[in-house]
Structure 1
Amino acid sequence: MDKTLIIFSVGNPGASNRHSTGHYMLKKLVDYFDVKQLTKKSPMYSVTSNADNSLILAKSNIYMNDSGKAFSKFIEGERIRLNSSCIILILYDDFESKLGTIKLLNLKSKESHNGLKSIRNSVNDPGINEVVFKLAIGIGPKPNNASKQTMASWVLSDFNSEEHRVLESAAFDALTTCLGEIIELNGEINDCNKFNAHLTKVLRASV
């Protein structure tokens, strides 16, 4: 791929839980791509890359609601230019999607997910609309008719053993397949809906 592929995970620091699924999957990608372990570059973020810097994996080191501070510090510290030379995927937990599923989405001007909202509001560069995408990792289904307090407790809880199995197998397989398709397309994502429909066909064919 001619573009630099950048994967940036958001979540809470500390113990693993649903809200830190992005970090969990990023660490698995470090092993999958056989790159060096993440190195803490500042209190804000950690990063690693392959030999020619065509792949960069990074994670926020601060709480989800402040993800934008880590992202902007990463962009500044690693001298990332938001132009056609790269594609950036924000790896995050999505309680609206079923566990084991992966979905590529455009970054909206008004995000509901606090981590994504923070990132969207932190970068005053029109290039963000062209090169930054959301890579949603399903953690649902969410509790039925849950109150705000119940939802807060649920996203901060850990997966049970069966859910961990799905995360390790189906979800990670879907993630790596998704990344393979993005690389195959040279990072040229013209329509996320069409891409996701294509990804679904590829995943079904591989079963």
Structure 2
Amino acid sequence: MKKFLIVGLGNIGSEYANTRHNIGFKVLDYIANQEGISFQSVKLGDVAELKIKGRTLLLLKPNTYMNLSGKAVNYWMEKEKIEKENLLVITDDLNLAFGTFRIKTKGSDGGHNGLKNIQLALNSTEYPRFRFGISDAFKKGKQVDYVLGEWDDTEKETLKVRLELCTEIIKSFALAGLNTTMNLYNGK
């Protein structure tokens, strides 16, 4: 059975639950809720297992805080013997308009501390990532407040539809492959 590690980046703690920076956790929570599966607290994170059409998707929400996400990713990839091409990291992206998606095979960390730490742990920039646009609608010097701020009412409404699409993207990644998924969903 083919295995995939789907990692949603975020920070643990109720104070971060509905922040823009926690979109990775929010996406995985949404999928788990839709599929009727639940997360178990295990080593270095919360994990849920989703089985679809002969594939196993391990959904991982690292509990290491954003800046140390690589430790959890590396541990679960080794433990479950998952190849880099079957890893998908979901993260927020300030450089994309709100709700825009960009799926890539590799790339820089773009200044994102979670991606920076994963890159360090894997000793590679070549792993699939799924960037969820949160926009850059903040005043100069207010980036941290914005990223760690909660969604506004307009964003919350749009978020419901975008989360449904995120579920499709993740399933497509596991079933149709990365290239097909990029062609279907990038820029949507």
1:60, 1:71 within 8 Å by CA — same for their partners in 2? yes
1:100, 1:137 within 8 Å by CA — same for their partners in 2? yes
Instruction: Indicate the SS of the match to 1:50.
Output: strand
Which aligned pairs between 1:45-194 and structure 2 lie closer than 5 A?
45-50=45-50, 54-76=56-78, 78-82=79-83, 87-108=86-107, 111-124=110-123, 129=126, 132-143=127-138, 146-147=140-141, 150-169=142-161, 171-185=162-176, 187=177, 189-190=178-179
Instruction: Indicate the SS of the match to 2:5.
Output: strand
1:10, 1:91 within 8 Å by CA — same for their partners in 2? yes
Residue 183 of structure 1 deviates from its aligned partner by: 3.8
Flag the structure with larger Rg: 1
Q: 2: CA distance between counterparts of 1:21 and 1:165? A: 15
- 1:199 maps to a residue whose letter is Y
Equivalent residue, structure 1, for 2:39: 38
1:67, 1:115 within 8 Å by CA — same for their partners in 2? yes
Q: 2: CA distance between counterparts of 1:174 and 1:115? A: 23
> Cα RMSD over matched residues?
2.6
Q: Which runs of 5+ in 1 are unaligned?
A: none
Specify whether residues 68 and 57 from structure 1 end up closer, same or farther in structure 2 by C-alpha distance, changes over 3 A only.
Answer: same
1:71, 1:119 within 8 Å by CA — same for their partners in 2? yes
Instruction: Indicate the SS of the match to 2:88.
Output: strand
Identity across matched positions, percent: 24
CA deviation profile, 1:124-153 (whole Å, cap 9, x unmatched): 4x7x73xx3111111114325x22xx1011
Q: Which runs of 5+ in 2 are unaligned?
A: none
Give the TM-score normalised by the residue count of structure 2: 0.83
Residue 104 of structure 1 deviates from its aligned partner by: 0.5
Residue 157 of structure 1 deviates from its aligned partner by: 0.6
